[in-house]
Structure 1
Amino acid sequence: MDPLSITGGCLALVSTVGKTLLGVTAFVKNCREARTDLGSVTRELSELKLVLEVLGEDTKDGNDEAIPENVRTQISTIVSSCSDVLDRLTKVSEKHDGRLGPTRWAVEGKSEVSNLRQLLEGHRGALSLAIDTVALALTREIKKDTDIIREDTKDIKEDTTRILMEIERLRALLPQEALLQPANRSSSLVLQRYLDDLAGFHSERGRFPKRSPGSERLSETEQQDARNRLNRLKFMRILDKISEKLGATPPDLFDDSAFREGKAVDYPLLPGEEWRNPELQVTKELYEDGNARSRSRVPGTINAELAVPVAA
């Protein structure tokens, strides 16, 4: 594969991931003992497919030229290495297929797949970092070429810090070389070199290297595409933060205990609150003899519909 053809490599690997996923699913049907072990593998394959599709889209039309050639080459190497991991995963499932498959799986299949799953997660994380790297590099180019985007450089520094933290997490994730089978050690070394180069790339004074002298300035279309990618990354991070909160028990939207006890002070409704809490106004009227009295019914008050005084 052409070392600079990241898009082509990603598209080819998407097809390979699809075939591997089908093969793993078929194997699990015949070897139920492997279902638990391969469940996490199928999830990794699905996430890897999505990452490859996004990276392939983001690097087409020469958008990857915003990053240095050595980093582009390393990304292509990661794509090739990931293909090798998928090939070994397919061979493992084929080797343990058949009548003696379940027995052989318990003896050696579990450990083989465990190594491959860790490598698969490492490659998927490395390619996710490549997406962030391309987006940040294009953002740097936009800041150099135009005055359209005026976000504080603090955002870029925060993104760079986050990438460096993710690099360290992936380094810790990689299995120790002594625990790897010989066939998997080369893929692990490729990942380590890539993470080292990427860390150096993002650590160099927090700046991205300049384009080569012969490179053209970004066109309006390229600028808009880069902005769209950056906004998409920010939106994805917002969704991540929201998803972290979904597991928490939400507070009650409405609690009328204070009205019943006669201790509440009326307050202006927030925009949309009456729509979200249709019982609110009913309860306020029900307990209007208490301390929750609508100011709109108190003559001589300013902005009567927005506030309610405490009853004496």
Structure 2
Amino acid sequence: MIYKTAPILLGFGMGLWAKASISSNKKAYSSALTQKNASSISFQSEYEMEWHRIGTDDFLFSLVGRHNSQVIGGYETRLAHKAFGIKIGASLTEVTKKYGSPLKAMHYQNTSYLLHYIDCTDNVAHGTYLINQHYVTFFYDLHKNNIVRSILWIHSATELNKNSFYGKPSNELRTGFEDLMVELINHERAVEGLQPLIYDKKCNSIARQHSNNMITHQFFSHEDHKGHHSNNRLTAGSVDYFWYGENIASGQCNSIFAHEALMNSAGHRRNILRKEFTHVFVGVCFKNNGSPYFTVNFYSK
């Protein structure tokens, strides 16, 4: 049996802005927010299934995972809704009292991946359990008294059919990860009473290039191998911006895990919830083992 540690990396949150005054461009800001971006209905996952949104209200966000019309997964964020006997908004103590300690590892064929639930601030950020033939992960909000902020579950047979901690890279999976990340971000903004970000999907290639560079040149930073920062990349990509910011993440197996980790990091959370931002684009690239690198760029026109 081979044991591996599932790595988790996050780029330190950036809240950067151009020298131009945001107050002098209120008209452009308001105009951008009036545009309505159509949301994707379904998203390819790393499993043999697609995620489907339930409804279109960003505030009431949940997903159901289906394969050939069979439900084999779910993701719940709606306050007071319950999954596996635990309500969204419950405490970490309630989960521990009901289910005890989470799993120490995930086992795929001849390889076991050790699971770590403690973040860089020594707090329990999530926990994964095997419950009624489902792998269930409870995510905790470290900024709101460690309440259960969301619950993710996958049928055990579906999880183990991956044969690895990560999924098999494909263009469809990349697009699914990118599109779902935007949906998750706009859900968080709706919860906080903020306007949704406009998905500038045509710029995804800019973010993908940075994710690819991090993999190819073996670094993990907002500054690339040539010394360029996120604002340099936006300018080179002809993005018209005033405010800008960037989140990066790596090691998480999908967009949900990456998003939950970013929301528990103060700097990244600020970028996601920064009221001045009006637009977002996302770029995902995969290492040979399937590990995704995420680059999320925010800006306002």
User: TM-score normalized by structure 2?
Assistant: 0.21
Which structure has the larger Rg?
A: 1
Is the helix fraction higher in 1 or 2?
A: 1
